[in-house]
Structures are given as structure tokens and as C-alpha cells.
Amino acid sequence: MKTMTTSARRLAASAQRGVSMLFALCALAVLTIGAVALVRSVDTGMLVLGNLGFKKDAVAAGSLTAESAITWLQNSTAVSGMLDSDIPANGYSSTAPANLDPTGSLVATSATAVVVPDWKGDDCQSVSAKTTPVCLKTQALDADGNSRYVITRLCKNAGPNDSSNSCVTPVTAQTTTTHQRGALKPGGRFTTFSTGTAYRILTRTVGARGTVAYTETLVHF
């Protein structure tokens, strides 16, 4: 029967301690990587939540911008014929432009000329396009131009909304009384009438951390 000498026992114990150290280092590395991944995951989640909050703030600011545009429209409709022609200084177009690109996302890929709102107040010089775009003036609500709007009247041509012009006019149904059930003629059970010309309001607001929000509103008076 063979017995281990004292030096052999020491060598075996030393080897075992070396293997344990290797496993401990591997476990420490795995735990470190897991901790880093967890921290990054939390940071990413917080960043996404923050961006969503900034987006909501920008959309809310866009609603206030649209309300300012509506107020201007209401005041302008009180002046006869004022809205029959373009008013670039107030971001107003009396016609609905064809090929309108509200966000400017198509100008870099479209081979045809498009109409782009001047969201940065630089006469569309910052817009990159294959063809020179038609620049649509906007109205800024603050000195930095972070909130802007543009109004387009939904008409084919400038001028008054009459039989010679083609304008979008919403149709509303009004219920009336009748002695003949199911009558569909004027003065009968249902009568239809057209309201005023429709207007399209586009807004662009820039919030915290460069968050950009676009809104669209259709109104008629």
C-alpha cells in the first residue's frame, strides 16, 4: 500500500486551491457582466420613459400652437375677403398645396418638386432635396422658433369660396320634424346644409432634448 508523502499532499492541496480560485474569478466575471447589463437596461428604460414624457410635452405644446392658429383664423374671418389670398407673414396659404410634405421626410427621396413648410425659419435652406422644394412660410410663436404653425385653406384656387372655386366644405345633417315619416326633402325629416370653408393647421414644436412633435388639425367656421 502506497502512502503520499508530506510534500505530495502539499502539492495536491495547492493545486486544488488554484482551481477554486479560477472558478471564483469566472463567477466574479459573470456577476460583473450581469450587473453592468442590468444597469444599462435600467438606464435605457429610464431614457425611453423620459423621451416619452418629452414627446407628450411637445404634443401638448403643439395643441397650444394650434389654438393660437385657430384664434387668428377666427379674428381673420371677421374681415371680409381677408382669407381669400395668401398671407405669408402669418403663415397662411389660401390654397391647398399639391405634394405637401409636412415633415420634410420626402424631399430627400422624391424626384418631383414638393411643398415644404419653413419649419426652421431659414427659407427652407436647411432642407435637403433632389429638386428645389417650394417653401411654405410658417408663423413662429416664440423668439427661438420652437413652436410654429402653417394654415392652408382647403381650396383649389385663391379668391372667394363661390361656384368658380373648389373648396372643401363639411356637410352636417340637421334633424327636423315632419308629418310624413321617412321624408328626405327640405322641410321633411332630414335637412342637409354646408358649413364654412375648411382649414388645415399643421404645427411643429421642439421640446426638451430636441424632441419634435407634429400635429394636424382641421377646422371650419
Helix (H, G, I), strand (E, B) or coil at 113: coil
DSSP letter string over 11-37? HHHHHHHHHHHHHHHHHHHHHHHHHHH
Unique residue bearing C-alpha cell 508530506 = 6
| Distance between CA atoms of residues 114 and 164, nearest Å | 26
Integer CA distances (angstroms), 167 to 46, 163, 171, in order: 48, 9, 12
Helix (H, G, I), strand (E, B) or coil at 72: helix
| Nine-digit cell string for 202 | 399643421
Residue 42: its pLDDT value, please?
63
DSSP-assigned letter for residue 133: P
DSSP-assigned letter for residue 44: H
| Distance between CA atoms of residues 203 and 213, nearest Å | 8
Instruction: Tell me if 198 sits within 8 A of 219, measured CB to CB.
Output: yes
Residue 73: its pLDDT value, please?
94
70 contacts: CB under 8 Å, gap ≥ 6: 201, 217, 219
Unique residue bearing C-alpha cell 385657430 = 70
Q: Where are the domains positioned within the chain?
A: 52-220
Question: Based on C-alpha coordinates, what's the Rg of the chain?
Answer: 34
214 contacts: CB under 8 Å, gap ≥ 6: 62, 102, 103, 202, 203, 204
| Distance between CA atoms of residues 220 and 155, nearest Å | 13
Residue 4: its pLDDT value, please?
53
What are the residues facing 44 on neighbouring strands? Answer: none
| Distance between CA atoms of residues 31 and 139, nearest Å | 56
Q: Could you list the mean pLDDT of each consecutive 10-residue stretch along the chain, which spans 221 residues?
A: 54 57 78 77 62 70 90 92 94 92 78 87 84 89 88 93 85 55 51 72 86 90 79
Pairing of strands 115-117, 134-136: parallel
Residue 220: its pLDDT value, please?
87
Residue 84: its pLDDT value, please?
94
